[in-house]
Amino acid sequence: MTSISSVQQIVATIRSGMGGPVPAKTGRKARADSMGQEQTGMGRLITERIKSLDPEDPKRGRKAFRIFLESVLLSELGEGLINDPQFYQMVDKIQDTMERDPRILAAIEQATAALLNEKPPA
């Protein structure tokens, strides 16, 4: 089983870039239940979308991470943005910025390996 610490680190980075976490339901149990249900549904959708990528595509890893990034941002900012072309321009900028930071890039590579069920880079 793959560690999700790099994924959590990336989500934390995205949230800090947005000015902090989006307020959640109050109460520890309500928040845990909500996050668990949301992550389960989101995880299934991410998995399905990644499975549809061509295994021979040389940009498969970058595309897989993009699917993850889009899903996290839609979850945080609201799924209504899915039809907004500016949302995808924003995702481009965020992904490019993240990939230029060596520390974040290392976490992206680990997360991508986890998304693709591959061995993480050394």
Residues in the chain: 122
The pTM assigned to this predicted structure is 0.69
Distance (Å) of CA 17 to CA 12, 23, 35, 83:
9, 15, 20, 22
Tell me which H or E stretch contains 73: helix 60-77
Sign of CA dihedral 101, 106, 107, 108: positive
C-alpha 1/C-alpha 79 separation (Å) is 30
Ordered mean pLDDT values, 10 residues apiece, the chain (122 residues) = 54 60 45 50 86 95 94 89 92 93 90 85 66
